[in-house]
Structure 1
Amino acid sequence: MKAVFVLAATIAMATAQYYGSRPFWRGPGGYFVAPSGGFRPIYGGGGGGFQPLHFGGFVVSQGGHSVGGFVGGLVDYSYRGSDYHFSWRHDGGQEYEWGPANHYCAKLGPGWYGVSIESYDEDKFIDSIIGGDKAKYIWTGGSFERYGWKWASGAPFQGLDWSYTGGAGIPQPDNREDGKEFCLAVLNNFYQDGITWHDVACHHLKPIICERRSRIYG
């Protein structure tokens, strides 16, 4: 048994590639990413559907399948019918203006857009990712147009988690920066107000969470 394990590990090491900034290996039973402490399965298939994709100087995988919420490839997590991609886990922590950030999402493939937070449950899920990864802030797919705020998904907009304060000390949205705060960001306790929504001028630089409907595209 020990000899078999050593042989399998040797084969896996020989095919090392990179998932984000971390190495992953194809071994018996699928693909494995190597966090501290050992191997972790990220792709349950034994071959076939994997296509390496060079994205922002990193190599990520396509075609992953869900393993208890964690998904391999472009999808970092699946939750209640949506797939999510956290840009900072794939591009070395780059930050973008709102427009290029949402273009980043669109380039991931069909159905991807900036996250549209459509329920309290989804809002709490996004908060848990931001808090868990210690992200300072993220862009969403939310933007203000002539008739009000809208989501990139096209779903009706509900102001579920606007902060009670901001740079001017008044509730959000306040449109304080030269009347041009047309983009929706989630900030992590930036004004000692928890993880909350803020209207922000679109030229500011932030990472983004991308979303797609897994029931359609997954």
Structure 2
Amino acid sequence: MLSFILMFTLFFALADSRVRTSGRLIARPRIEKCNARPKHYLDKRTGHYYFFSGKTDYGSYEASWLDARNICREMCMDLVSLETSEENMMVEAVIKQYEVDDIWTSGRLCNFHGCDAPHLQPKNIKGWFWSGSGSSIPPTNETAPGWKDNPWSDTGFLSQFVSKPVPQPDNAEYLLQRSGVTIEACLSVQNNWYSDGIEWHDAACYRTKQFICEDSDVMMNFMKKTHPNFVLR
């Protein structure tokens, strides 16, 4: 057991050495990229278009959560926010069709300044939100209204060390290698990593994954204010 944990500690330490710490901010939209954005899927209810990075020139390229988000934002989009079961099923279908290991969403843990409000406690249950839309994510231990089941996995990496499954989010990487970088503060959809099907997991944001972008009302409104003659195509 001890040797196993030491092995993973070394692995994560090596991973830390490759992390970019440039202090970059989130990107702003660019007119030419907004109008050239890929449009793979359409939600007729919202009018939002989506695209999967694996169907574009990015191919098998994988990005950190922030890099992926900035790619989306430059196109008047953001990482996908799975606010409805229909969106979740769309992402599951993409993962199955293209046999993707995992993808980034805009899901984020509120673990920074201003996140100490009582209604966000405990953070691992009530402190998650969609950074793409600003909407809160229902408590991680509950099934949201309109959903058939809870999309968070009921198991994960830590389950192998104890007698019963440890549900997501479990912040496993941080517990093995404590640092500001290894906190599992971003939400990915993973493809059967723990024989659990396609489910939600928390993940360290520096990890690289493929991604799905979604039209962003926030980005579009920003463009309309800063470029009055802008027409999104």
Taking structure 2 as the reference length, the TM-score comes to 0.58
User: d(CA) in 2 for partners of 1:89 and 1:121?
Assistant: 20
- CA apart distance, 1:213: 5.3
Q: Is the radius of gyration larger for structure 1 or structure 2?
A: 1
User: d(CA) in 2 for partners of 1:149 and 1:201?
Assistant: 14
Larger strand fraction of residues: 1
2:168 is aligned to 172
Query: 8 Å contact 1:138–1:186 — kept in the other structure?
Result: yes
User: d(CA) in 1 for partners of 2:152 and 2:110?
Assistant: 17
Query: 8 Å contact 2:192–2:199 — kept in the other structure?
Result: yes
Taking structure 1 as the reference length, the TM-score comes to 0.62
Higher relative contact order (CA 8 A, sep 6+): 2
Query: 8 Å contact 2:152–2:200 — kept in the other structure?
Result: yes
1:128 is aligned to 93
Measured on the aligned residues, the alpha-carbon RMSD in Å equals 2.3
Matches within 5 A, 1:13-92: 62=36, 74-79=38-43, 80-81=45-46, 82-90=48-56, 91-92=58-59
Larger helix fraction of residues: 2
Residues 1:178 and 1:213: Cα distance change in structure 2 (over 3 Å):
closer
Name the count of aligned residue pairs.
148
- CA apart distance, 1:156: 2.6
2:227 is aligned to none
User: d(CA) in 1 for partners of 2:60 and 2:41?
Assistant: 18
1:195 is aligned to 198
1:212 is aligned to 215
User: d(CA) in 2 for partners of 1:171 and 1:162?
Assistant: 8
Query: 8 Å contact 1:83–1:213 — kept in the other structure?
Result: no
**Which amino acid in structure 2 is aligned with residue 175 of structure 1?**
N
Matches within 5 A, 1:145-184: 145-146=110-111, 147=115, 148-152=127-131, 153-158=133-138, 159=140, 160-169=150-159, 170-179=166-175, 180-184=183-187
SS at match of 1:131: helix
User: d(CA) in 2 for partners of 1:119 and 1:139?
Assistant: 16
1:12 is aligned to none
Runs ≥4 in structure 1, deviation > 4 angstroms? none
User: d(CA) in 2 for partners of 1:144 and 1:194?
Assistant: 23
Which 5+ residue runs of structure 1 have no aligned equivalent?
A: 1-52, 56-60, 63-72
User: d(CA) in 2 for partners of 1:181 and 1:75?
Assistant: 30
Which 5+ residue runs of structure 2 have no aligned equivalent?
A: 1-31, 116-126, 141-149, 160-165, 176-182, 221-231
